[in-house]
A and B are shown apart, each in its own frame.
Chain A
Amino acid sequence: DIQMTQSPSTLSASVGDRITITCRASQSISKWLAWYQQKPGRAPKLLIYQASSLETGVPSRFSGSGSGTEFTLTVSSLQPDDFATYYCQQYNSYSITFGQGTRLEIK
């Protein structure tokens, strides 16, 4: 299986900050990567697919980039609603895998 590693595991930031979360794949996955946001007790929400395509209705402060084995999720100016856990997911193979998650907390 393709292993997905996110960093950092926890990120402390303030409203208005620009933050970046990194996701690394154990082998090339081309552009087949998605990002999700999950809040406690809620289902995940799709933010980005195909590494850089913004899901409908997701604010433009979210952006994704990368290809191959290294990917990033950037939030250009954090809003109070953005504090949550973020997961990357590869879908290059039929055996789908997620990163372990990055918890974004208020500093």
Chain B
Amino acid sequence: EAQLVESGGGLVQPGGSLTLSCAASGFTFSNYWMSWVRQAPGKGLEWVANIKHDGSAKYYMDSVKDRFTISRDNAENSLYLQMSTLSSEDTAVYYCARVGCHDVSSYFCNWGQGVLVTVAS
């Protein structure tokens, strides 16, 4: 069974940086696109970034371009999100998600439990 476990969240000051990690197991990680999706407290879901199975293509939502970097290590079955120049608007639970289990399409078939990032002074 597919499992995704995020780590690295916490409290960070405005303007600071943080890196999230996601450990994948139970499926062939290198075969799938992966994503980060976030949810601000009491709000809806917001897609953040996608990365192709081999890391050769990456896509970001406009408000995080140039501040966030998605990456992966297929040898370690791990996904990462490097976040910089953080603001209070980035406060959210960040989910790691597997993309397109049944075909090459960008729906999210497996999700981690989420990790909270709080940006505050």
Which chain B residues (94-117) contact chain A, with CB distance < 8 Å?
A: 95, 102-103, 105-109, 111-114
Which of B20-28, B44-52, B70-78 lies at the interface with chain A?
B44-52
Inter-chain contact total with CB atoms closer than 8 Å: 59
Contact between A91 and B109 (Cβ–Cβ < 8 Å)?
Answer: no
Q: Hey, what's the 0/1 contact readout for B59-87 against A, CB within 8 Å counting as 1? A: 10110000000000000000000000000
Contact between A91 and B59 (Cβ–Cβ < 8 Å)?
Answer: no
| Known contacts A89-B45, A98-B47; A43 and B95 CB within 8 A of each other | yes
Contact for B107 among A1, A38, A43, A89, CB less than 8 A: A89
Q: Specify which chain B residues have a CB less than 8 angstroms from the CB of A45 in the assembled complex.
A: 111
Which chain A residues (81-107) contact chain B, with CB distance < 8 Å?
A: 87, 89, 91, 94-101
Q: Size band of the A side of the interface?
A: 20 to 34
Contact between B47 and A96 (Cβ–Cβ < 8 Å)?
Answer: yes
Q: How far is the CB of B108 from chain A (nearest CB, A)?
A: 6
The complex places the Cα of A91 from the Cα of B111 at a distance, in Å, of 17
Q: Specify which chain B residues have a CB less than 8 angstroms from the CB of A36 in the assembled complex.
A: 45, 108
Contact between B46 and A98 (Cβ–Cβ < 8 Å)?
Answer: yes
Contact for B105 among A49, A99, A101, CB less than 8 A: A49
Interface centre among B35, B62, B108 (most CB of A within 10 A): B108
Q: Specify which chain A residues have a CB less than 8 angstroms from the CB of B59 in the assembled complex.
A: 94-95
B interface, CB within 8 angstroms of A: 35, 44-47, 50, 59, 61-62, 95, 102-103, 105-109, 111-114
The 10 A-B pairs of least Cβ separation, nearest first, read A91-B106, A34-B107, A43-B111, A96-B47, A49-B107, A98-B45, A94-B59, A101-B44, A46-B109, A100-B44
Instruction: Please give 8 more A-B residue pairs, beta carbons under 8 A apart, in addition to A87-B45, A89-B107.
Output: A43-B95, A46-B107, A46-B109, A95-B61, A96-B35, A96-B106, A100-B44, A101-B45
